[in-house]
Amino acid sequence: MTTESSQVLTPSADQGRALRDTLGHFATGVTVVTTRDAAGQPAGMTVNSFNSVSLDPAMVLWSIDKQALGYQAFTGQEHFAVHVLKADQQHISNLFAGRGADKFGQVHWRTGPDGIPQLEGCAAYFHCRRVQCIDGGDHTILLGEVLEFTAGGGEPLVFHRGRYRALAGD
Ligand SMILES: Cc1cc2nc3c(=O)[nH]c(=O)nc-3n(C[C@H](O)[C@H](O)[C@H](O)COP(=O)(O)O)c2cc1C
Cα torsion for 156, 30, 142, 127, to the nearest 10°?
-50
- Kindly give the number of the ligand 1 atom that is closest to the alpha carbon of 96: 17
- Kindly give the number of the ligand 1 atom that is closest to the alpha carbon of 164: 1
Supply φ then ψ for residue 115, to 5 degrees: 75, 5
Distance 69 CA to ligand 1 centre (A): 10
| pLDDT confidence of residue 21 | 95
| pLDDT confidence of residue 154 | 94
Distance 170 CA to ligand 1 centre (A): 30
Q: Identify the CA nearest to 57 among candidates 112, 125, 135, 129.
A: 129
Distance 133 CA to ligand 1 centre (A): 17
User: Quick one: DSSP state of residue 4?
Assistant: -
Pocket, ligand 1, Cβ cutoff 6 A: 30, 45-49, 62-65, 68-70, 93, 97-100, 159
Q: What is the pLDDT of residues 69-100, one digit of tens each?
A: 999 999 999 999 999 999 999 999 999 999 97
Rounded Cα distance, 63 and 51, in Å: 10
User: Quick one: DSSP state of residue 22?
Assistant: H
| pLDDT confidence of residue 2 | 53
Q: List helix spans (H) across 35-124.
A: 71-76, 90-96
Q: What is the pLDDT of residues 15-56, one digit of tens each?
A: 889 999 999 999 999 999 999 999 999 999 999 999 999 999
Choice between 5 and 141, residue whose per-residue pLDDT is larger: 141
- Kindly give the number of the ligand 1 atom that is closest to the alpha carbon of 98: 21
Residue of 23, 28, 46 best suited for mutating to test ligand 1, as the one with most atoms within 8 Å of CB: 46
Whole-prediction pTM: 0.95
| Domains of the chain, start order | 30-161 (2.30.110.10)
Residue of 28, 32, 45, 74 best suited for mutating to test ligand 1, as the one with most atoms within 8 Å of CB: 45
Rounded Cα distance, 75 and 66, in Å: 10
